[in-house]
Amino acid sequence: MIVETMVFYLFSAIMIASAVMVISTRNPVHSVLFLILTFFNAAALFMLTGAEFLAMILVVVYVGAVAVLFLFVVMMLDINFVELRQGFMQYLPAGALIGAILLIELAFFSVGHWVSAPDADAQRALAMPAAGQVSNTLALGRVLYTDYAYLFQLAGLILLVAMIGAIVLTLRQRAGVKKQSIADQVSRSRGEAIEIKDVPTGSGV
């Protein structure tokens, strides 16, 4: 038990520290690397609570895809991050004040005396299979396409909108861009593609 608690605090502490580093390092590449560290620690926390599927998803999707994409963007785009950060110090006091107030408020009701409704635990248990009987992944798979098929479809539509949006806002059709047209390529005849010249010996083309 004590080991588990210690491990929990270890991961939480590293996670908070690296989250702070994400917004405070000067080098954006370091920021992204710290973000990856944060994700790994969050995954470890999920693992501690027994949610192994979420932990794996976090690593695979966020570290494997999202963070790497961030890294590419940061390295390939020429954005002056120092300029973007100007004014950060100016807004820091107000932001820190609001954050502190929010933190105190949250601590006020959540530390020690969070109260649930009388049958909240029964309600929660209703949606979960008995622990130890099935693995996380199996339990999710059982309900995702049956009980929650509606939400699954909705999520698909939301992702579709995101894709359309990204294309609408970034795809530009410029004139003078050479595009591959397979139909044109295939239908070319030998006559238009090459020209045969008879080069006399010793005189060049």
- Residue 200: C-alpha distances to residues 141, 177, 191, 197, 204 (Å): 75, 39, 22, 9, 7
Phi, psi at residue 200, to the nearest 5°?
-70, 145
User: Which of 45, 23, 154 shows the shortest CA–CA distance to 99?
Assistant: 23
Report the C-alpha gap between 7 and 15 in whole angstroms.
Answer: 12
Is the distance from CB of 74 to CB of 28 less than 8 angstroms?
yes
User: Is position 116 an interface residue for another protein (rule: CB under 8 A)?
Assistant: yes
User: How many residues form the binding site for another protein (CB under 8 A)?
Assistant: 33
User: Is position 23 an interface residue for another protein (rule: CB under 8 A)?
Assistant: no
Amino acid identity of residue 143, one-letter, is V
To which H or E segment does residue 187 belong? helix 182-187
Q: Whole-number minimum distance, CB 188 to another protein, in Å?
A: 24
User: Which class for 32: exposed (0-12), middle (13-18), buried (19 or more C-beta within 10 A)?
Assistant: buried
Place of tokens 């030998």: 190
Choose which of 115, 175, 183, 196 interacts with another protein (CB under 8 A).
Answer: 115
Q: Which of residues 123-182 bind another protein (CB under 8 A)?
A: 123-124, 147-151, 154-155, 157-158, 160-162, 164-165, 167-169, 172
Q: Whole-number minimum distance, CB 193 to another protein, in Å?
A: 28
Q: Among residues 10 and 164, whose Cβ is nearest to another protein? A: 164
Alpha-carbon Rg for the chain, nearest whole angstrom, is 28
Q: Which stretch binds another protein (CB under 8 A): 16-24, 45-53, 82-90, 115-123?
A: 115-123
Choose which of 121, 135, 144, 145 interacts with another protein (CB under 8 A).
Answer: 121
Q: Among residues 167 and 205, whose Cβ is nearest to another protein? A: 167
Choose which of 109, 141, 144, 188 interacts with another protein (CB under 8 A).
Answer: 109
x-or-dash string of contact with another protein, 67-106, rule CB under 8 A: --------------------------------------xx
Is the distance from CB of 45 to CB of 12 less than 8 angstroms?
yes
159 alpha carbon, distance to own chain's centre: 13
Binding stretches for another protein (CB under 8 A):
105-106, 108-110, 114-117, 119-124, 147-151, 154-155, 157-158, 160-162, 164-165, 167-169, 172
